[in-house]
Amino acid sequence: MTMIQCVSPVDGSVYAERPALSPGDAEAAVLRARRAQKSWARRPLEERVALVLAGVARLNAMAGDVVTELAWQMGRPVKYGGEFKGFNERSNYMAAIAGEALAPLVVERSAGFERYIAREPQGVVLVIAPWNYPYMTAINAVAPALIAGNAVVLKHASQTLLAGERLVRAFNEAGVPEDVFINAFLDHDTASRLIGEGQFDFVNFTGSVAGGRAIERAAAGTFTGIGLELGGKDPGYVMEDADLDAAVDTLMDGATFNSGQCCCGIERIYVHESLYDAFVEKSLAWVSNHRLGNPLDPQTTLGPMAHKRFARIVREQIAEAVAKGARTLVDGALFPQDDGGAYLAPQILVEVDHSMKIMTEETFGPAVGIMKVQGDAEALALMNDSRYGLTASLWTRDAERAARLGRELETGTVFMNRADYLDPALCWTGVKETGRGGSLSVIGFHNLTRPKSYHLRKAG
């Protein structure tokens, strides 16, 4: 029997473990979901919406346990109270637009014809969720999939082993049938086998580029629909007319919040030469105020990274940049809790360039490089010099200028005077090695359903 373990970054102990389903038991679980899906889809939309919102409310009622479990599983400080703000915002918005998003597109209703395009659920949806925001990322697909009439099998990352279990428990207790929303402890081989056998009608994966490639290989030839949100190297660009203090506050928070483990976190910053020195000075002061420590301490603002191997990648990128001429600014003496393992001090690097991994490869940690630029053309070229494309954050008082630059940016979302945020009314999507497809918004509902056309010619 294969055991799936969560090793806590807090102290290196095994915090939780669960037995992985055998291939036979996994197939049986998917079969139960398939048998339950048709009756779930036949329920009125309003009833499905109400049950999903009841599940959301039930999870909120478990907030104390959820927040503590998150700290132990992946290191987020209890100070921040979990993920409930974004979790609720996303699920509530998708519930609110469900009627409009899933309504038939009527072409003709006349004495002679009814012609329209209806939206039908995909069937059984596999949601593979990551550890960095285990509830918010899962709900991006879970809420609209269930509302649209799909059955959902949730496979969570081993690092947040308990998150999937708790989420499904909350929804089941609120009235969503147990076979309609299933938590499955699956190892990689079993998950790939189920996908390769065409057991699912749609797979929604959030994770690494390597993981996305594995999903695509497993699904090859099955014609299974796939949505992928993969890596990122999101840039910020501070123009000469930016609100400097606001830019520092938002971009530094975007670079370090959740120990930098955010898919749309800020990983590289380009600053107009006229503001560069001031931006760097203020950013250093901002980051130096962090308190690194045990995430169960309510005074801690920066917990450990989710695993020491993730912290090792950040340290290696910093070392490589320094070897190539970069300078680190944050005084390590301010963060004696940095233990060389999962506990990692934040860092700002200057005199960086795109020969360094810190500016080109995903870091996914509390370290950011800052480069001086002369203007829009240089900044645009640097921002597009990436194999990723999730978001870009532009700082200016000129919305027309931001939109003009946005049209040239190779990215899924363009922010102006904002960063590290997911707007549920807009499609969450990416380009290049960040993935394909999109979640949330009306488009998220469309990806979790399929169109069916009706051409009804009336007798007589």
Instruction: Give the pLDDT confidence of 182-192 residue by residue, as tens digits.
Output: 999 999 999 99
Q: How much of the chain, in percent, has pLDDT values that exceed 90?
A: 99
Question: How high is the mean pLDDT of the chain?
Answer: 98
Rg (CA), the chain: 23
Q: How far apart are the first and last CA of the chain?
A: 66
> Is the pLDDT assigned to residue 103 strictly greater than 90?
yes
For CA atoms 414, 415, 419, 420, the dihedral sign is negative
Query: Which residue in the block uniquely carries the two structure tokens 């550890």?
Result: 131
Name 125's Cβ contacts closer than 8 Å, sequence gap at least 6. Answer: 141, 145, 150, 151, 152, 153, 200, 201, 202, 203, 204, 448
Q: Which two tokens stand for residue 225?
A: 């629909």
What pLDDT was estimated at residue 1? Answer: 76
Q: How much of the chain, in percent, has pLDDT values that exceed 70?
A: 100
Write down all domains in the chain, each with its CATH number in brackets.
Answer: 3-231+433-457 (3.40.605.10), 234-387+391-423 (3.40.309.10)
> Is the pLDDT assigned to residue 35 strictly greater than 90?
yes
Q: Which two tokens stand for residue 402?
A: 């931001």
> Distance between alpha carbon 453 and the CA centroid of its chain, in Å?
33
Contact by Cβ (8 Å): 264, 421: yes
Residue of 263, 267, 427, 433 marked catalytic: 263
Please, what is the Cα angle at 276 between 273 and 282, to 5 degrees?
A: 165
Instruction: Give the pLDDT confidence of 429-452 residue by residue, as tens digits.
Output: 999 999 999 999 999 999 999 999
> Is the pLDDT assigned to residue 201 strictly greater than 90?
yes
Distance of alpha carbon 444 from alpha carbon 398, whole angstroms? 30
Does the global pTM surpass 0.85?
A: yes
- 23-27 long-range Cβ contacts below 8 angstroms, 24+ apart: 23/190, 23/193, 26/184, 26/186, 26/190, 26/194, 27/194, 27/199
Instruction: Give the pLDDT confidence of 281-301 residue by residue, as tens digits.
Output: 999 999 999 999 999 999 999
Instruction: Give the pLDDT confidence of 243-266 residue by residue, as tens digits.
Output: 999 999 999 999 999 999 999 999
Distance of alpha carbon 334 from alpha carbon 336, whole angstroms? 6
What pLDDT was estimated at residue 316? Answer: 98
Contact by Cβ (8 Å): 385, 239: no
Residue of 69, 229, 267, 433 marked catalytic: 229
Identify whether 262 is a catalytic site residue.
no
> Is the pLDDT assigned to residue 460 strictly greater than 80?
no
Left (φ > 0), alpha (ψ -120 to 50) or beta: where does 198 sit?
Answer: left
Taking CA atoms, 76 is separated from 178, 260, 307, 337, 375, in Å, by 30, 11, 12, 16, 37
Name 336's Cβ contacts closer than 8 Å, sequence gap at least 6. Answer: none
Helix (H, G, I), strand (E, B) or coil at 8: coil
Q: Average pLDDT of 167-186?
A: 98
Distance of alpha carbon 244 from alpha carbon 284, whole angstroms? 14
Q: Average pLDDT of 377-383?
A: 98
Query: Which residue in the block uniquely carries the two structure tokens 């009608």?
Result: 201
Name 312's Cβ contacts closer than 8 Å, sequence gap at least 6. Answer: none
Identify whether 229 is a catalytic site residue.
yes
Q: Which two tokens stand for residue 55?
A: 């599940």
Where does the pLDDT of residue 178 fall: very low under 50, low under 70, confident under 90, or very high at 90 and above? Answer: very high
